[in-house]
Chain A
Amino acid sequence: MEALILLGLLTTGSAAGVLGALFGLGGGFIFVPVLMLAFGLAPAEAISVSLIGIIAGSVGASTVFVDKGTANVRLGLLLEITTAAGAIIGALIAGLLEDWILMCIFSAVVLYSGIRMALNPEKVIEPAEGSDGRFAFGYEDDGGKEIRYEVQNVKGGMAICTAAGMVSSMTGVGGGAVKVPLMNLYMHVPIKAASPTSSYMIGITAFSGAITYFLAGTVLLEYAAGIAIGAFAGSLAGTALSKRIHAKHLRRYFSVLLFAVALLVLLQAGGIL
């Protein structure tokens, strides 16, 4: 492998790793088009390398976020059940619906989430005093203050995760871009917990796909290695950076990022990317 290609892979991986750790996005929306357009990989090759990069970024960020307690492991496991179920359903019915239709729907949902994120201030429901409800959680913010929140609309959130899992397994885009706004806007999880929780979940989501590609032998190992090393380093940088960003600003940046994701996916749907 040429040094220049390796450098390119490391850079791409780091950029996606930073974004992943900051916002809870996997980075598939960066990896797949870049690997295909800049590195000339076939779609299946690009997706398999992308999945391994997503795992490296997710696990890297989670070593910090899970330890700190900002990533909510319990909530992550719960939402991952229906996400995984949706992914299986999606894989089984793939081909029944045109990919571009799904991508347009996805794009519209992400755009809507971005607008809501930009306009509506964060609303966190504090658990009642002394309440020890099943869905009452807390974490310590960067100033050492205890933040408590009670997760709302749990059943609805699980149902939407089924749809998100279906779409992402059928189109290869978007776990985090749906899950973070879902947790933040609909389930009232603070953004400082929603993004790390999504970062954590994304690794588990990517696992199933990655192991399938790995066992089938379609993974380009050297490409995967370059992307994974970059994504891991980027994710650690991202966790350090996330401490310096205030929740209000994080949400604003997130909404901008969602608009970019919506546009990118729309371009992919139109066959331009």
Chain B
Amino acid sequence: MNLNRSTAMTLRIGIAIGMAMIAAGLAMSVLGYGDAVLSAGILVLILSPLAGAIVSFIALASEKDWFWTSVAAMLLAITAIGMVIAALRCPK
């Protein structure tokens, strides 16, 4: 599994789905059909960089590149910690 190719592919899929949903959702929202699709599209877009980092982690692990695998794992861990702290500090 090639690191660059698999990471780029993940980002490409994320942004393609996200952008399609955002464009369709924006049209629906403006025309008064509610904003469920738009909201879901924005969520897909927001999650794309995280999905890219997760796939990078998997690609590095599959290459048995342990130093860089642990770097990716540490980043994912600290991102998770950051989200927990943010969730605790922001009670809605």
Contacts and interface: CB of A to CB of B under 8 A. Distances in A.
B42 A216 contact: no
Nearest to B13: A63
A74 B68 contact: yes
Contacts of B12: 63
B49 A229 contact: no
B45 to A, nearest CB: 6
Nearest to B72: A77
B46 A63 contact: no
A150 interface: no
Nearest to B39: A221
B87 A212 contact: yes
Interface in A165-220: 203-204, 206-212, 214-217, 219
Interface residues of B, number: 50
Interface stretch (A83-91, A106-114, A115-123): A83-91
B1 interface: no
Chain B residues touching A, majority SS: helix
Interface in B52-76: 52-53, 56, 60, 67-68, 71-72, 74-75
Interface in B21-50: 22-23, 25-26, 29-30, 35, 38-39, 41-43, 45-50
A47 B24 CA distance: 24
At the interface, is chain A mostly helix, strand, loop or mixed? helix
B53 to A, nearest CB: 6
Interface stretch (A34-42, A54-62, A259-267): A54-62
Contacts of B7: 62, 66, 73
Contact of B83 (A59, A77, A92, A211): A211
A203 B26 contact: no
B26 A226 contact: yes
Interface of A: 1, 52, 55-56, 58-60, 62-64, 66-69, 73-74, 77-78, 80-81, 84-85, 87-88, 91-92, 134, 203-204, 206-212, 214-217, 219, 221-222, 224-226, 228-229, 232
Given A63-B15, A211-B47, A228-B18, 8 more contacts: A1-B30, A55-B49, A69-B4, A77-B71, A78-B71, A216-B92, A221-B35, A222-B30
14 contacts: A62-B11, A64-B8, A67-B5, A73-B4, A77-B53, A77-B75, A81-B74, A84-B75, A88-B85, A91-B89, A208-B79, A212-B86, A214-B46, A222-B26
